[in-house]
């Protein structure tokens, strides 16, 4: 059968559409959420490459007198202005305030104890977002119904944690109507099962855009054992039941959180300890003290790539985690590198998670790890 000119044109258009379908069908970008530490003081935003990020979480806003509170208002407000200016480079970038953190979570339990206090707390948080033209709120309560850093806590935190997000979502919805801009509500959560037992994560997830798993700091201070602090899987070198990123993902999904809202945490810094002997290249050994590790730029440039450091590089293939060990000083260092980051990004793709987040931007000023994330998830 011969086609007319009109038929040929239609056929060509159909072929073009079929060719374009794979691109049109591609899912949206993964989120890449970077925590930026305003507690350091003024942020050098020239070091922040906005095009490599989808969200910046500004850490931290305090909780004082049952309200969200800017402790360092002079530097905080300057930082807000400078971070918002980064949208010139990436108009889709979102800037959120992160409330709490390890050191500033002691007042959460009181602040969200009653309907009245929750409403006031939520309004105070969203007022900061409104005033500085930001894009939402991240809550980093460490931890509800758990002591954290010597915090006030009570069993009612389990339900009040949910009700806090309900109140915050209500206030953010009001701001959405005022501005016409989407407002984000997220949470940083402990990357371990106990967090899910102390909360109602299935209910919480309904109010949140993303849930950022703090799948790091898995060092065992209380047990004094040299273990990975940000491993993707359990290690066969020591108790495989210890925490890992994969275990956290599965625990939260079991608790009712959909994969599409889970964001896997990666560490831009390391932990170090001194072990009691040199067996097993330092992994899974009793420790007798802490030593310095530092951020990844320092680890890579001054330790891994510096023979004078005396540190040897190893990979725990089961855990998907690298580590360094010096048999003379008995120094053990656990951290993320480009190899483990690629493992985690591949995992995010396989599990259909929302993306990755990292703590904290200034720990890798040369962006070795962010560049790897950008390559793997772009």
Digit-coded pLDDT (tens) for 54-88: 999 999 999 999 999 999 999 999 999 999 999 99
Top-confidence residue, 344 or 15: 344
Cis check for the bond before 6: say yes or no (omega within 30 of 0). no
Top-confidence residue, 250 or 26: 250
Q: Say what percent of the chain tops pLDDT 70.
A: 93
* pLDDT higher than threshold 60 for residue 205: yes
Taken in order of first residue, the domains within the chain and their CATH numbers are 28-268+336-377 (3.20.20.80)
- Token pair of 122, please? 């939520």
- Token pair of 290, please? 């802490």
pLDDT at 28: 56
CB atoms within 10 A of CB 331: 23
Length of the chain: 378
* pLDDT higher than threshold 80 for residue 224: yes
Whether the Cβ atoms of residue 228 and residue 245 lie closer than 8 Å to each other: no
pLDDT at 344: 98
The mean of the pLDDT values for the chain is: 93
Catalytic annotation, residues? 142
Cα–Cα distance between 174 and 138 in angstroms, integer? 17
* pLDDT higher than threshold 90 for residue 91: yes
Give the tens place of pLDDT for each residue, 95-144.
999 999 999 999 999 999 999 999 999 999 999 999 999 999 999 999 99
pLDDT at 17: 37
* pLDDT higher than threshold 90 for residue 8: no
Q: What Å distances lie between residue 36 and 148, 243, 296, CA to CA?
A: 22, 25, 15
* Secondary structure of the chain in HEC code, one letter for each residue: CCCCHHHHHHHHHHHHHHHHHHHHHCCCCCEEEEEEEHHHCCCCHHHCCHHHCCEEEEEEEEEECCEEECCCHHHHHHHHHHHHHHHHCCCCCEEEEEEECCCCCCCHHHHCCCHHHHHHHHHHHHHHHHHCCCCEEEEECCCCCCCCCCCCCCCCHHHHHHHHHHHHHHHHHHHHHHHCCCCEEEEEEECCHHHHHCCCHHHHCCCCCEEEEECCCCCECCCCECCCCCCCCCCCCCCCCCCCHHHHHHHHHHCCCCHHHEEEEEECEEEEEEECCCHHHHCCCEEEEEEEEEEHHHHHHHHHCCHHHCCEEEEECCCCEEEEEECCCCEEEECCCHHHHHHHHHHHHHHCCCEEEEECHHHHCCCHHHHHHHHHHC
pLDDT band at 222 (very low <50, low <70, confident <90, very high): confident
Give the tens place of pLDDT for each residue, 335-365.
999 999 999 999 999 999 999 999 999 999 9
* pLDDT higher than threshold 70 for residue 210: yes
Give residue for tokens 């929302």.
Answer: 354
- Token pair of 60, please? 């931290």
Mean pLDDT value of segment 322-330: 98
Q: Which residues of 177-211 are buried (b: 16+ CB within 10 A; e: fewer)?
A: eeeeeebbbbbbbbbbbebbebbbbeebbebbbbb
For 256, list phi and psi in degrees, rounded to 5: 105, 10
């Amino acid at each position: 059968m011969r086609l007319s000119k009109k038929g040929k044109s239609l056929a060509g258009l159909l072929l073009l559409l079929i060719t374009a379908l794979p691109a049109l069908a591609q899912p949206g970008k993964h989120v890449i959420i970077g925590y930026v530490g305003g507690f350091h003081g003024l942020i050098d935003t020239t070091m922040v490459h906005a095009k490599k990020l989808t969200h910046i979480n500004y850490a931290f806003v305090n909780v004082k007198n049952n309200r969200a509170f800017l402790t360092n208002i002079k530097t905080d407000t300057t930082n807000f202005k400078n971070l918002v200016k980064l949208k010139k480079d990436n108009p889709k970038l979102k800037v959120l305030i992160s409330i709490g953190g390890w050191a500033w979570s002691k007042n959460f339990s009181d602040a969200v104890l009653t309907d009245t206090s929750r409403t006031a707390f939520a309004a105070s948080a969203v007022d900061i977002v409104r005033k500085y033209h930001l894009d939402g709120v991240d809550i980093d309560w460490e931890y509800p119904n758990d002591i954290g850093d010597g915090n006030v806590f009570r069993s009612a935190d389990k339900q009040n944690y949910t009700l806090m997000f309900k109140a915050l979502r209500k206030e953010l919805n009001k701001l959405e109507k005022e501005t016409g801009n989407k407002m984000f509500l997220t949470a940083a959560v402990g990357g371990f099962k106990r967090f899910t037992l102390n909360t109602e994560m299935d209910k919480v997830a309904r109010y949140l855009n993303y849930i950022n798993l703090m799948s790091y700091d898995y060092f065992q201070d209380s047990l004094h054992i040299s273990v990975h602090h940000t491993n993707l899987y359990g290690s066969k070198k020591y108790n495989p039941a210890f925490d890992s990123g994969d275990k956290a993902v599965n625990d939260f999904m079991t608790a009712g959180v959909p994969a599409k809202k889970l964001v896997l945490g990666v560490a831009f810094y390391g932990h170090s300890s001194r072990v009691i002997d040199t067996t097993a290249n330092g992994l899974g050994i009793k420790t007798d003290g802490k030593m310095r590790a530092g951020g990844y730029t320092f680890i890579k440039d001054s330790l891994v790539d510096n023979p004078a450091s005396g540190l040897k590089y190893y990979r725990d293939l089961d855990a998907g985690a690298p580590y360094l060990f010096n048999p003379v000083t008995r120094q053990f260092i656990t951290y993320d590198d480009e190899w483990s980051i690629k493992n985690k990004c591949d995992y995010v793709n396989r599990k259909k998670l929302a993306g990755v987040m990292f703590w904290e931007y200034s720990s890798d000023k040369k962006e070795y790890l962010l560049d790897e994330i950008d390559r793997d998830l772009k």
